[in-house]
Homo-oligomer: A and B are copies of this chain.
Amino acid sequence: MPQHTTTEIFDMPRRKSETAAAPRGRPRAYDAKAALKQATETFWRTGYSGTPLDKIAAATGMSPPSLYAAFGNKHELYLEALASYWEMTLAATREALAGDRPLAEALMLAYEAALSFYFSRKGSARGCFVIGTAVAEAVEDAEIRKSVAAGLRMLDGDFEARFRTARERGELKQDADPEALALLASATMHTIAIRARAGARRADLREIAHKAVTVICGSPSASH
């Protein structure tokens, strides 16, 4: 293949890095993905109603007009942050529950994954983004409520599927109720999310998860 021109070589990576070929006007000074992450971080602490757009602008380094160009308005921005959070946590939960791990170990892994979200790098507790910010708005805001309800339903479903296969594998008694156990597993996740927001220490929450898993999986099964 002798027809290798330099233009061909440089066009290939250009087209790969971004979908369109050329943006035409002044280039964006922000990374939308990183900005959404920082906006999420800000909402996480002070909630939706409690977070002015100024603080989000400061956290992202974006000007208000840029925020509106990128995300629409405050409400749409929050909705996007909420959807992104659900995606992230549900993926982490599914990964924890997947594989050939023993049931109790898989459950503990799911709770540990949640705790790693609830406690930020600095060690300060912020709890669950959904429970800490979305639940407050859910009553009056139909879109937020819909997102919360859908996320809770998927979490229930993931737990229930895991308990169902656990029963098939003989990890649970044959008369165990996968739906009921999934409800308790979700409830454990929820109580941890709440307590983290209320200032509980990470080690205490881990122990709460452990106690819950012990009861859910049948009395003495957590350590092996």
The chain A residues found within 8 Å of chain B, CB to CB, are 45-50, 125-127, 131-133, 135-140, 145, 148-149, 152, 175, 177, 179-181, 183-184, 186-188, 190-191, 194-195, 197-200, 208, 211-212, 214-216, 219
Beta-carbon contact of A197 and B140 below 8 Å: no
Chain B residues positioned under 8 Å from A219 (CB to CB): 175
**Given A183-B191, A191-B183, A198-B149, CB of A177 within 8 Å of CB of B139:** no
Beta-carbon contact of A140 and B179 below 8 Å: no
Beta-carbon contact of A200 and B135 below 8 Å: no
Q: Which residue of B lies closest to A179 (CB)?
A: B211
Beta-carbon contact of A140 and B183 below 8 Å: no
Nearest CB in chain B: distance from A172 CB, A? 12
**Given A140-B46, A197-B135, A200-B149, CB of A184 within 8 Å of CB of B187:** yes
Beta-carbon contact of B50 and A199 below 8 Å: no
Shortest beta-carbon contacts, A-B, top 7: A49-B50, A187-B191, A49-B49, A180-B211, A187-B187, A136-B136, A148-B198
Beta-carbon contact of A183 and B198 below 8 Å: no
Beta-carbon contact of A50 and B187 below 8 Å: no
Chain B residues positioned under 8 Å from A214 (CB to CB): 177, 180
Beta-carbon contact of A50 and B136 below 8 Å: yes
**Given A149-B198, A219-B175, CB of A136 within 8 Å of CB of B132:** yes
Chain B residues positioned under 8 Å from A211 (CB to CB): 177, 179-180, 183
Nearest CB in chain B: distance from A155 CB, A? 10
Chain B residues positioned under 8 Å from A194 (CB to CB): 131, 135, 152, 190, 194
